[in-house]
Amino acid sequence: MIHLDHDIIIAPATATGGALCIIRLSGEGAIEMCDSLFRGKKRLAEAKGATLHYGYIMDGEQVVDDVVVSVFRAPHSYTGEDSIEISAHGSRYIANRIISLLTSRGARLAEAGEFTRRAFMSGKLDLSQAEAVADIIASDSRASHAIASTQMRGGYSEELRSLRDKLLHICSLLELELDFSEEDVEFADRQELSRLLNELLLKVRSLADSFSLGNALKHGVNVAIVGRPNVGKSTLLNRLIGEERAMVSEIAGTTRDSIEESVNIEGVIYRFIDTAGLHSTDDRLEQMGIERTWKALEKAHIILWIADSADRDIENDLCGFIPSPEQRIIHVINKIDLLAKEDQLTTENQDEKFIPISAKLGLGIDKLLAELHTIADATNALRGDVIVSSQRHYEALRKAQESLVRSLDGLHNGTPTDLLSEDIRQVMYHIGTITGEINSEDILKSIFSSFCIGK
Ligand code: GDP
């Protein structure tokens, strides 16, 4: 359980095994508590905020370790409280000993995410910024980092909060009208309300629409490599990931199971899935592989549909698969090296529908990667555009969008003021859950419990 109190909390902020270990301490009295163990040139209790102090952590007259202590004074610290960071040598023994010396003086071990929760409670971060802290720590590519970093710096929350405040103002005027219902007065400017609701709807819709991109870039873009047996799917996978992971063979049906490999290409994580070739077969094992291929197709963001340069009717050859509107297909013709020179040239000059490659010789792979990057639409994310990548925000945005549409309908159709104001309250509620103006113990618990200890 996360405690809502003013205890001094303590936790290691670094994983064990590194050269240094940092122990964090936060809460009123944290500086004095650390000072009682510290021996240096100057007393920490007298130190200014944002200063570093070299000295020893002492257990009585015994030196535990020589350390550098950072002192932060409220409100200029991560949590907004008096805080200390002790940089010691990276030994688990030293960390445990320092922590137990401080807990014996009254500090409590911090819960997961409790430092960030305190930062949220003291108004240092709003909720969406606090969530981005966890995303920053988890980010494993330039794209996922760029999305989290934009969100942590305020991203969309600033704009949403200001629109919500304006709406709150108009809504209170609407509700005032209810108190004077006998007198038929209008305090809230309906035109202004309509303009504001439309502005918010535009914003909310574009944020919600960015989610499928944000989610893919955060967790990796799924790319299924699909086609008939023997067209060169495994060879292409090996070429893309740069190693012999998938077995290549001339016997059709070699890839009986799907093989998944993640590769970071220019800042974006692509998860390539090499699938069993799609064809009819009596072999039970192969059938199972083909079933998995259909599943891989369903969860793919992008489908690389591979055909052999010797095949005819390439364009329509999707083996009965119907892609969803969000899925993008790249048609690839492989083995162009087997074509006569003049045919190779015609293939290369063909319109943009097919990308001619030779997986074996590495021809055309740059063009294929460029196409992947364009379709994954990573450029905007890498440029720092505001993109939603949190499932929680996406759901709140969708609900806000529904309430906005209802409010606008109500406004134009002359819905009674009390019902209209109820819909607008719903809009404000859902937006408020993103930025944290509306929060509940349950929401906070589920958000911060996914953090690591010490953050
Ligand atoms: P899969 O069944 O679709 O995974 O096909 P494989 O990757 O196992 O390849 C089938 C055969 O085609 C192997 O003998 C590969 O060496 C060969 N092959 C794959 N790509 C090329 C290519 O670009 N050019 C040529 N000449 N052969 C290729």
Q: How far is the CA of 328 from the centre of ligand 1 (A)?
A: 24
Give, using CA atoms, the residue closest to atom 24 of ligand 1: 335
Ligand 1 atom closest to 361 (CA):
23
Region of poorest pLDDT, from 247-251, 286-290, 447-451: 247-251
Q: Examine the pLDDT at 64 and tell me if it is beyond 50.
A: yes
Region of poorest pLDDT, from 36-40, 200-204, 391-395, 441-445: 441-445
What's the pLDDT tens digit per position in 404-425? 999 999 999 988 888 999 999 9
Number of neighbours of residue 138 by Cβ within 10 angstroms: 15
Ligand 1 atom closest to 359 (CA):
23
Running DSSP on this structure, what letter comes out for residue 315? Answer: T
Average pLDDT score over residue span 237-253: 65
Ligand 1 atom closest to 306 (CA):
3
Q: Check if 251 has its Cβ closer than 6 Å to any atom of ligand 1.
A: no
What's the pLDDT tens digit per position in 297-308? 888 889 999 989
Q: How confident is the model at residue 342 (pLDDT cuts 50, 70, 90)?
A: low
Average pLDDT score over residue span 324-333: 87
Cα 9 to Cα 21, 22, 69, 83, distances in angstroms: 17, 14, 16, 9
Query: Pick from 61, 68, 108, 64: which is nearest to 85 by CA?
Result: 68
Q: Check if 222 has its Cβ closer than 6 Å to any atom of ligand 1.
A: no
260 token code pair: 């998944």
Provide the edge-to-edge strand list for the sheet that holds 38-40.
38-40, 51-59, 62-72, 83-89, 20-26, 9-12, 108-109
- Average pLDDT along the chain: 86
pLDDT recorded at residue 2? 45
37 token code pair: 């163990």
Main-chain dihedrals φ then ψ at residue 143, nearest 5 degrees: -70, -50
What's the pLDDT tens digit per position in 260-296? 888 888 888 899 988 776 666 677 777 777 777 778 8
Q: Check if 234 has its Cβ closer than 6 Å to any atom of ligand 1.
A: yes
Average pLDDT score over residue span 2-9: 74
Cα 314 to Cα 85, 260, 307, 332, distances in angstroms: 63, 25, 6, 9
For residues 257 and 289, the answer to whether their CB atoms sit within 8 Å is yes
Host H or E run for residue 155: none
Average pLDDT score over residue span 46-52: 97
Average pLDDT score over residue span 26-42: 97
Give, using CA atoms, the residue closest to atom 14 of ligand 1: 250
Q: How far is the CA of 269 from the centre of ligand 1 (A)?
A: 25
Whole-angstrom distance, CA of residue 318 vs CA of residue 269:
26
Whole-angstrom distance, CA of residue 223 vs CA of residue 378:
14
Probe target for ligand 1 pocket from 226, 228, 231, 235, with the most ligand atoms within 8 Å of CB:
235
pLDDT recorded at residue 438? 83
For residues 434 and 397, the answer to whether their CB atoms sit within 8 Å is yes
Ligand 1 atom closest to 229 (CA):
2
Ligand 1 atom closest to 249 (CA):
8
Give, using CA atoms, the residue closest to atom 9 of ligand 1: 232
Handedness of CA 89, 94, 99, 102 (dihedral sign): negative
pLDDT recorded at residue 357? 94
pLDDT recorded at residue 27? 97
Running DSSP on this structure, what letter comes out for residue 81? Answer: S
Provide the edge-to-edge strand list for the sheet that holds 354-356.
259-265, 268-274, 221-227, 302-308, 328-334, 354-356
Query: Pick from 168, 95, 157: which is nearest to 128 by CA?
Result: 157
Q: Check if 310 has its Cβ closer than 6 Å to any atom of ligand 1.
A: no
Q: Check if 289 has its Cβ closer than 6 Å to any atom of ligand 1.
A: no
Q: How confident is the model at residue 318 (pLDDT cuts 50, 70, 90)?
A: low
Q: Examine the pLDDT at 114 and tell me if it is beyond 50.
A: yes
Q: How far is the CA of 287 from the centre of ligand 1 (A)?
A: 21
pLDDT recorded at residue 316? 54
Q: How confident is the model at residue 451 (pLDDT cuts 50, 70, 90)?
A: confident
Q: How confident is the model at residue 257 (pLDDT cuts 50, 70, 90)?
A: low
Q: How confident is the model at residue 117 (pLDDT cuts 50, 70, 90)?
A: very high
Whole-angstrom distance, CA of residue 224 vs CA of residue 274:
6
Q: Check if 313 has its Cβ closer than 6 Å to any atom of ligand 1.
A: no
Q: How far is the CA of 226 from the centre of ligand 1 (A)?
A: 13
Give, using CA atoms, the residue closest to atom 26 of ligand 1: 335
43 token code pair: 């007393």
Whole-angstrom distance, CA of residue 289 vs CA of residue 252:
13
Q: Check if 40 has its Cβ closer than 6 Å to any atom of ligand 1.
A: no
Whole-angstrom distance, CA of residue 202 vs CA of residue 200:
5
Give, using CA atoms, the residue closest to atom 25 of ligand 1: 335
Whole-angstrom distance, CA of residue 139 vs CA of residue 267:
11
3-state secondary structure string across 350-396? CCCCEEECECCCCECHHHHHHHHHHHHCHHHHHHCCCCCCCHHHHHH
Q: Check if 249 has its Cβ closer than 6 Å to any atom of ligand 1.
A: yes
Average pLDDT score over residue span 84-89: 98
Report, in angstroms and rounded to the nearest whole number, the Rg of the chain calculated over CA atoms.
29
Ligand 1 atom closest to 237 (CA):
7
For residues 129 and 152, the answer to whether their CB atoms sit within 8 Å is yes
Q: Check if 235 has its Cβ closer than 6 Å to any atom of ligand 1.
A: yes
Give the distance, in angstroms, between the CA of residue 77 and the centroid of all CA atoms in the same chain: 25
Region of poorest pLDDT, from 240-244, 296-300, 437-441: 240-244
What's the pLDDT tens digit per position in 373-383? 888 877 777 77
Q: Examine the pLDDT at 5 and tell me if it is beyond 50.
A: yes
pLDDT recorded at residue 121? 92
pLDDT recorded at residue 75? 96
Give, using CA atoms, the residue closest to atom 19 of ligand 1: 232
Specify burial of residue 320 (Cβ count, 10 A radius: 0-12, 13-18, 19+): exposed
Q: Check if 46 has its Cβ closer than 6 Å to any atom of ligand 1.
A: no
Running DSSP on this structure, what letter comes out for residue 28? Answer: T
Q: How confident is the model at residue 1 (pLDDT cuts 50, 70, 90)?
A: very low
Average pLDDT score over residue span 351-370: 88
- Which residues have CB under 8 Å from 182's CB, separation 6+? none
Number of neighbours of residue 295 by Cβ within 10 angstroms: 13
363 token code pair: 């021809």
Average pLDDT score over residue span 28-55: 97
74 vs 173, residue with greater confidence: 74
Running DSSP on this structure, what letter comes out for residue 154? Answer: T
Dihedral Cα 150, 152, 155, 161, nearest 10 deg: 180
